[in-house]
Amino acid sequence: MFGYVRLFKPTITMGEYEQYKGIYCTLCKRLGKRYGVLSRFTLSYDMTFLALLQMALSEEEADFCPSRCSFNPTKRCLKAQNTDAIDRAADIGTVLAYYKLKDTLADEGWGKKIGAWCALPFAKAAHKKAKKNVPHIDEAVAAMMSAQARVEAEAIASIDRAAEPFALLLQALAAEAAADDTQKRVLERFGYCLGRWVYLMDAVDDLAEDLEKGRYNPYILSRHLQQGDENGVKEARAYSLFTLNACLAECKTAYDLLEIRRFDGILRNILEEGMAHAQKRVIAGEEEKHERSL
């Protein structure tokens, strides 16, 4: 996926890091078990965060046991034994990966299209299975992709309207972890602001490349940027900071209203430091999305 919702390792405790890595590694294992070994390449920090949040809200205890990495048996890790939330994240990640692949085939150049065509048969098979597990999620993702395609086709310059489809998708995904109506309202707001932040981060991260290749980007249209306008790109990144900070602040406010039963230190590290660090790097023009290994 995007890879912006991540830990800030310099300040995380060793114990919390091992727990986070255990959930990340368990998600990798569950992807392989449910959808085949190639599905492990869709592993992301974003889906790890989704599983982590649901586990933090659940009344069931998180149980870990010693394990080893599937790809490197000499590497030790923890394995989560209660995998309901992780399986759900694997299902959602598989659905998202399929639609992302279709988007690549529609929008990218031949270099990326060749790789997407090679992966498509495997993604189709995994998607067919995932769709049976979470049909409502598949419908929500398909609706988001359709709405996003309309925004791009109409060359919508409004940053708010451009971010809306993905924000609404994350709103729906987050709300599914709710145990009651009050918690649902809080999670909906949390998911909406998180989805808006992720979409806008991706738009800022891709700004220079989108401008060079003539692709849709709301910041290009709203700021009237032209090819080769490096100062304009820098100004657009600086301009995005206010909106990104506002989204992050609302995420934190909504999070503080939730009854978190476990993993609070990990979640706060991500929300207060990891995401802020990713944002700082993207604003500075550094590529953030490709750094996904723990």
pLDDT digits (tens, 9 = 90+) for 149-190: 999 999 999 999 999 999 999 999 999 999 899 999 999 999
Boundaries of every domain in the chain: 9-70+77-283
In this predicted structure, the answer to whether residue 198 has a pLDDT above a threshold of 90 is: yes
Q: Which is it for strands 76-80 and 64-68: parallel, antiparallel or unpaired?
A: antiparallel
Most confident of 9-13, 104-108, 114-118, 282-286: 9-13
The pLDDT, as a whole number, for residue 75 is 85
Closest among 137, 202, 146, 200 to 173, alpha carbons compared? 137
pLDDT band at 138 (very low <50, low <70, confident <90, very high): very high
Q: What value, to the nearest 5°, has the Cα angle with vertex 235 and ends 231 and 238?
A: 145
Buried b (16+ CB within 10 A) or exposed e, 128-138: eebbebbeebb
The Cα 24–Cα 56 span in angstroms is 15
The pLDDT, as a whole number, for residue 8 is 96
pLDDT band at 252 (very low <50, low <70, confident <90, very high): very high
The CATH T-level fold of domain 9-70+77-283 is Farnesyl Diphosphate Synthase (1.10.600)
The mean pLDDT value of the chain amounts to 91
Is the whole model's pTM more than 0.85, yes or no?
A: yes
